Structure 1
């Protein structure tokens, strides 16, 4: 069996690894590390939880240790870009462990944190800068950082970066980096756009792949439960009570709906927290720390948490709302069964989500086993609201003392005011005599194009996610 020492890593890195839980390199690490150490551009494909961070981080640090002098004021030697704050933090935490006892300096910049403090951290330069694209552009525009001497560029979770609208930010950042560089691209899925990105930014890359794109970890037991939208909360409560003391991640479609579900679960006595785009960075960090320290049993999140959360204790993932982007399903359930452990993933499917379920199964190249209910008939699916209407907005319930939400038809208005819709009192007020030619009123439950998790129902615009 291959060891980290067999890969030729620096003795200083090997010493740091001895103090971690990493004892043997994973397949993606075995394949990628030698190529990166040789200076080759590389495209790495592997599902979440397989050790991609060490696959690019260890050989990158190995090469930086050989330089032997500081990078210079505001200069960056290696740049690692990731789409979410959580993923940036995870990468930075791992690199900090690997560099313990070495002169290598790792700096992190993300949106939602003090721009001035980040500028001060970069004043003396950084060997490795881990950043979200939006915040890095802010610092570049202020002149707080220079990429003129950056010899290494890593794009982690590149497919998710494209999905979040960072392609324009990536192009802007790439103009600041020398063409003579080593570029590494890592992703868990392989949409067509990634091939184009690789052709643009990588030179004669080596391609390493340890699992077919879109394939989840083998030890994840998957299942789908067909359930009306209004009954999902009670079903979730039943599942959570079956596994007391075991940590669970619950994914919702919208910021608004996820927060309402979190509050409902808290009322029912669960130790629960939430992270989504409406939370400040400090709130998100604090909640993740509490979850990591087992102070919380349940974490409700939008797709902001689908990547970048590496918590070995997560045993259950519940897709309360199915994702619009089918590849995100793979990343969501990849939060369990980390590093070879076992885990369970249950998808809740309402009539309006049959299209999403079919798209997910197409990516998986197999059907998800049915563990509850029965697939919805075509007429029920046809009568369900269109995507973006009354979906993921209301946790439902039917608990004593609450309105019997689960008995409402699929087209009923959710409680509360979803993001991006008219105020509730306006949409409910009857308009007995609409003027000829007036704009039609929105249907009950909201309308518009399909939304993406964590975006509050607002359409994604160019440069979305700029806040990092």
Structure 2
């Protein structure tokens, strides 16, 4: 199915081709007609499947038919959880909009940097705003932005935005929007409690669930190594050198671990740096840009980099620390094997975390042999099993789950399309 069959303006079809989109991905071929038809949407598709273009193209199609003489007012609002995703989504929207006779004005706003340039960018209005929730509310509080004219709301990485960490800010944003609007929720995962919240905000949505491709080696090869916790850095260095890995994204659990592991690798003659939320926005942007330019061999990061960051051709992802949940595992390994390219995801499993890994395997439908690197055979003993099984976040409601359930009872009534 070509893009020409989806009902998009010819200029947008040409823009998609110029960016390398020759044929629609499954999420694009299903989502674009639904959005053009005015439907609310709840769309699930794996990372790297083209979700940004799936909402950007129909969004721009609507704006292309707007009255060119009308003053610029914010008609489309894209809300994202991170600064990096805001910048990336804004870049895609702007690139696709360039061939239009009257390209819409797109303003990207996020925290961690001065608000003044963003306020200046909003002078004279804007057609599309891509923003993180906190900075969006700051701009409204400074009277730099009004949301009363928004008729299309997009939540990109909606599961995280609907989660507890963003729930209060998102609710305040929703209260500023008109009740009559179209809502598009996109994510790679929608855990059941979050999906309940999403359903309360959507009006008769079309639900699209593009199945994840089986990770049988065709797209992402997955491997696991059993290793003592104290020898993971040594194993990582050996694998990078022996396997000839050129660029590696390494996930750890804390900002401190990101700094520590990056420093150890750097002292071992590898070009390694850290990337986490404790860095300034300028430092984060620089590290990410230099990694994309292949100036770093290794970037050690927290789950900050697990969502919405597209690093073209990234060959290897390593779980130095195992993720807390299967959802996080999906997002982490999704940084490689994108857009049909092959990739490798490696997980380090310490004896203490072996039970946790087995639960991740079970919920991912995996059965991977635990490899042992010669010379690094594990000697640590696993701890006694915790009562009730312990391990990965399970199906019994946690404190967070209970708070989500309470929030679900107080969500804004469904918007009417």
**TM class by smaller structure:** 0.7 to 0.9
Instruction: Write out aligned runs for 1:250-269 (5 A).
Output: 250-269=250-269
Distance 1:245 1:228, change over 3 A: closer
Shift of 1:382: 2.3
CA distance in 1, matches of 2:239, 2:148: 53
Separation of aligned partners in 2, 1:81 and 1:363: 30
| TM norm structure 1 | 0.77
Task: Provide the C-alpha distance between the structure 2 equivalents of 1:206 and 1:45, rounded to a whole number of angstroms.
Answer: 11
Gaps of 5+ in 2: 387-397, 399-417
CA shift, 1:90, in A, is 1.3
Q: Distance in 2 between matches of 1:354 and 1:218?
A: 26
- Kept in 2, the 8 Å contact 1:188–1:214? The answer is no
Partner of 2:94: 96
> Which shifted more, 359-368 or 283-292?
359-368
SS at match of 1:291: helix
The match for 1:335 is: 335
Question: Judging changes above 3 Å, is the alpha-carbon distance between structure 1 residues 377 and 330 closer, same or farther for their aligned structure 2 residues?
Answer: farther
CA contact (8 A) 1:71 1:125 kept: no
1:138-287 aligned within 5 A: 138-163=138-163, 165-211=165-211, 219-244=219-244, 246-287=246-287
Q: Which residue of structure 2 lines up, in the alignment, with residue 433 of structure 1?
A: none
Shift of 1:164: 6.2
Task: Tell me, in whole angstroms, the C-alpha distance in 2 between the residues paired with 1:294 and 1:347.
Answer: 23
Does residue 296 of structure 1 match 2:280? no
Tell me, what secondary structure is at the counterpart of 2:121? helix
Helix, strand or coil: the match of 1:382?
A: coil
Query: TM-score normalised to the size of structure 2?
Result: 0.86
Structure 2 match to 1:380: 382
Quote the offset at 1:355 in angstroms.
4.5
CA contact (8 A) 2:215 2:221 kept: no
Q: Deviations over 1:269-309 (max 9, x none)?
A: 11222210111111111111111111122111111100122
Which residue in 1 is equivalent to 2:79?
A: 81
Q: How many residue pairs get matched?
A: 383
1:7 & 1:363 partners in 2: Cα distance? 36
In the other structure, the counterpart of 1:54 is 53
SS in 1 for 2:382: helix
1:131-177 deviation per Cα after TM superposition (whole angstroms, max 9, x unaligned): 11111111122222110000000111112224461111111100001
Per-residue Cα deviation, 1:27-76 (whole angstroms, up to 9, x for no partner): 11111110001110011111101111111111111111111337746x41
Question: How many angstroms apart in 2 are the aligned matches of 1:279 and 1:347?
Answer: 25
Contact 2:28 2:53 in 1 (8 A): yes
Q: Greater share of helix residues, 1 or 2? A: 2
Q: CA deviation at 1:224?
A: 1.2
Partners of 1:180 and 1:277 in 2: CA distance: 36
